[in-house]
Structure 1
Amino acid sequence: MIRLLLPAFFVLSLTSLLSAALAPNDVKALLDRIRTKRAGSPQVQADFKEEKTVHLMNKPISSAGKVSFQAPNKFRREVSGSSPSITVSDGQTLWIYYPKFQSAERYSLGKHSPLDAGIAALTAALNLENVESSYHITASQEGDGYALQLSPRNPSLKRLLTTFNIQMNAGLQVQRTEMIQPNGDHIVTNYANESRAPIPPATFEFAPPAGTNVTTPLGR
């Protein structure tokens, strides 16, 4: 019996060593390190692969593409494959373009727009500035990297997600995120090929191609 228990005990001990919860002061210090690193290059581009598990569907939905972010609130997300789309925001206006259907949706941001919380959730891993005001945060060290768990504070975010998990490598680059939603859906996103080189301003601008059907679903 002892021989059978020893391997299990070894595995549990190794797991606890590889994953150690950080004290609140250490979490704060980690966030400060992340912000200091990002302050020198407040922009990021990366490739991503995403898998969304929907509770009403038998198979997960997979997608891939490229994301660009410029602090504090500009981003572009291009999804390739059979259902391509481009989502672009300059911080004031959000565009979602569907090239296969030659259609685009336009939304105004700010002024308590119902989309603000959604964008905050979408860019949470890329923009951790003042993240404590929107989330309760715990963290642990896993191997030579870190895992952060964000739980929303305000009602608007709670309607979108229950937890948001972020995995970072030793260089504080985001490797993986997992968003768990109140209805049981969850979205796992893996990032690769991160670059913090300057991004052309035009990346965050969008003009619908000629012939595009433009709608404003929220009426503004």
Structure 2
Amino acid sequence: MRKLFTILLIAGCAQLAWAGGMEDLESFVKTVKSGQADFTQVVTSPPRPGQAARSKTSSGTFEFLRPNRFRFLYEKPFKQSIVADGQTLWLYDADLNQVTARKQSQVLGSTPAALIAAAPDLQALRADFNLTDAPDQDGLQWAVAMPKAKDGPLQSVRVGFRLSDKGSELAVLEILDSFGQRSVLTFSQLQVNLPLAAGTFKFEPPTGADVVRQ
């Protein structure tokens, strides 16, 4: 489930006027239609009794085209792909040579990923989330999204923006799930509003791969 949340990376493709985190988020939702970036993801599990917390690091690239197409390519430490073509969400594990296919409408639901990818303004986001500014931290300005549903897999999402020579751009995405697992995604080489074709997000299962449809 945590990798489904990584599709919130599409939020990272905004370059905005430097303001509060909520103003940055609002401008992003209205103005950013496509983008691509490199990312590093660190997932930290809650510590067990008598043990330190454990972390795993992965990295790769992503692209998106609003309102409902995106592609995450994990390169290290293992090759994996998450591709949404507008109808189907494809998850491919190269080591297992296995593909899982799910209907986007059933999988994404009211997750932050679906809302941020499709919402035209903050009013649409507020249908499912309580949105607030958070204090500045680590040189970033932050917006926080708290899901209104109390029984979902997500506790909160924090979106951090940094000032650049082009204005304000999203730098960090922090996701806390209902099990206390924290996923921190850091973006680099960010480019926005690129002329990406819908065909960029077409996925064909590799020959011989085991395809599981759910």
Give the TM bin, normalised by the shorter chain. 0.7 to 0.9
The unaligned stretches of length 5 or more in structure 1 are 1-20
Aligned to 1:165: 158
**Larger fraction in strand:** 2
What corresponds to 2:90 in structure 1?
95
Asked if 1 retains the 8 angstrom alpha-carbon contact of 2:89 and 2:101, the reply is yes
Highest relative contact order (Cα 8 Å, sep 6+), 1 or 2? Answer: 2
| Secondary structure in structure 2 of the residue aligned to 1:184 | coil
- Judge conservation of contact 1:48–1:192 (CA < 8 Å) in 2: yes
Q: In the TM superposition, what is the alpha-carbon distance from 1:204 to its structure 2 partner?
A: 0.9
Matched, 1:195 2:195: no
How large is the Cα RMSD of the aligned pairs? Answer: 2.7
Give CA-to-partner distance per residue, 1:141-164, whole Å, 9 cap, x none. 738852101101134xx5221110
CA contact (8 A) 1:148 1:165 kept: yes
Gaps spanning 5+ residues in structure 2: where? 1-18
Structure 2 CA distance for aligned equivalents of residues 51 and 105 of structure 1 = 23
2:196 partner SS? coil
Deviation at 1:199, TM superposition (A): 1.6
Q: Tell me what 1:175 maps to.
A: 171
Aligned 1:36-47 pairs, distance under 5 A: 36-38=30-32, 42-47=33-38
Q: TM-score, normalised by structure 1?
A: 0.73
Instruction: State the distance in 1 between where 2:198 and 2:56 align.
Output: 31
Q: Which of these residues, 108, 111, 123, is aligned with residue 116 of structure 1?
A: 108
Which amino acid in 1 is paired with 2:102?
Answer: Y
Is the contact between residue 61 and residue 73 of structure 2 (CA under 8 Å) also seen in structure 1? yes
Give the structure with higher Rg (CA).
1
1:66-105 CA-to-partner distances (Å, cap 9, x unmatched) read: 1111111111111112321001011211111112222111
Equivalenced residue count is 184
Q: 1:122 Cα deviation (Å)? A: 4.0
Gap change, CA 1:193 and 1:128, over 3 Å in 2? farther
Q: Distance in 1 between matches of 2:212 and 2:75?
A: 22
**Partner AA of 1:116 in structure 2:** L
Cα 1:165/1:192, change in 2 over 3 Å = same
Counterpart in the other structure of 2:16: none
Identical pairs, percent: 20
1:1-220 matched pairs, under 5 angstroms: 27=22, 30-38=24-32, 42-55=33-46, 58-110=53-105, 113=106, 115-117=107-109, 120-122=111-113, 129=120, 130-140=124-134, 142=136, 146-155=141-150, 158-170=151-163, 171-196=167-192, 197-216=194-213, 218=214
TM-score by length of 2: 0.75
Give, in angstroms, the shift of residue 127 of structure 1.
5.9
SS where residue 199 of structure 1 aligns? Answer: coil
